[in-house]
Amino acid sequence: MDKAFLTGGTGFVGANLARLLVREGFEVRALARAGSDRRNLRGLPVDILEGDLQDGAALEAGCRGCRYVFHVAADYRLWVRDPEPMYAANVLGTAKALEAAGKAGAERIVHCSSVAAVKLREDIPADESSQYASTGEIVSHYKKSKWLSERKALELAARGLPVVIVNPAAPIGPWDAKPTPTGRLVVDFLNGRMPSYVDTGLNVVHAADVAAGHLLAARKGRVGERYILGCENLTLKRYLDLLAELTGLRAPRFETPYALALAFGALDTARARLLGGEPLAPLDAVRMARHKMYFDSSKAVRELGLPQTPARRALADAARWFAENGYVKDRRTARQVLDRLGADEPQTGGGGRPCSSPAVAERITRGGGALPA
């Protein structure tokens, strides 16, 4: 039985990837911090190694004897009071994880970067050729840290490590326990906490397709290349309208002018710094929303065979999971969401909850696993 090691297995993308690896017959090890929330791995036959990205011994033990290593762990926040821990995790931690995998002799090392490390284009969706020249062009600490970590991964690939880079867009789907900033959009919508919207856009991709993209990158990706794992480019208005169609809840009707959103973000972030807590609208997030975050995933589709589950299905699976797992505060609203979406139940994975896109599930039910060997 092939072995695989992943960092970030307790997180959103990592939990989806862990389930896929188990279904594919891998013996899976996952790194988890002491005291971390491990409910995303509950019930899965996964060997959990306690440690963090600064723990070289734990990383080396996890990588030992593994065919594939997936470095998925990251500090994904759009606002931080102190950015140093974020850089320590996302940049220094990446170097340690990839170097440990190289030392262990892994056949392929997949580094989970982000489209945050891809420079946006004004006229067309950005692809893998779109590069930042320096951190001076980049808005937030999160985006800067992911760009720096990707530069490190490319440097190690140039030195001979079998590193392949994947850049997920905005994953949506089950197992977003924290939830991530992208999942928070769905949760806020379901709880009626979105009175208006801004004129922005994002690339929506089912989390199960992102998981599939990681394994496909290990099996078919070219060393030193990066692959954008995305699907549909949607305006935020269309995103919210789709959620309204799926759930029967009302979409916000009013568009907030960007200047007003920017002013609110600045004041709200200043309030958080002075009084504590987190801002509702972090200034960096508002600045990022000034441009539509559209991406082109055709390279991953062409070279890897990345599944392309429709955004509608991704949003339905996410809304269902959040409603099932207590994220919708009003019980009648949660019941309404589940009544609307219950007939569209996706396939389930190792933990017994919905966790697979139709594209992946179809391959599983045909036999032979979800992905080509």
In a domain, 261, yes or no: no
pLDDT number for residue 246: 98
Distance CA 314, CA 208 (A): 9
Q: How far is CA 361 from the centre of its chain?
A: 20
This prediction has a pTM of 0.90
Q: Answer whether residue 119 shows pLDDT above 50.
A: yes
Strands 27-32 and 46-50: parallel
Edge-to-edge strand ranges of the sheet holding 170-172: 170-172, 201-206, 232-235
In a domain, 322, yes or no: yes
Q: By residue range, what is the domain housing residue 354?
A: 3-252+286-366
Name which of 108-122, 256-270, 351-365 the model is least confident about.
351-365
pLDDT number for residue 280: 86
User: What's the CATH code of the domain at 157?
Assistant: 3.40.50.720
Mention every residue, 6+ apart, whose C-beta is less than 8 A from residue 332: none
Q: How many domains does the chain have?
A: 1
Q: Answer whether residue 360 shows pLDDT above 90.
A: no
Distance CA 240, CA 234 (A): 10
In a domain, 260, yes or no: no
pLDDT number for residue 366: 28
Distance CA 144, CA 90 (A): 10
Name which of 122-131, 228-237, 277-286, 318-327 the model is least confident about.
277-286
Q: Answer whether residue 199 shows pLDDT above 70.
A: yes
Q: Answer whether residue 248 shows pLDDT above 50.
A: yes
Name which of 10-14, 38-42, 248-252, 363-367 the model is least confident about.
363-367
Q: How would residue 118 be classed by pLDDT, with cut points 50, 70 and 90?
A: very high
pLDDT above 70 covers what percent of the chain?
92
Please state, in angstroms and as integers, the Cα–Cα distance from residue 21 to each residue in 85, 109, 129, 211, 285, following that order.
30, 15, 30, 9, 33
Q: Answer whether residue 225 shows pLDDT above 50.
A: yes
In a domain, 266, yes or no: no
* Mean pLDDT of all residues belonging to the chain: 91
Name which of 76-90, 312-326, 337-351 the model is least confident about.
337-351
336-345 mean pLDDT: 80
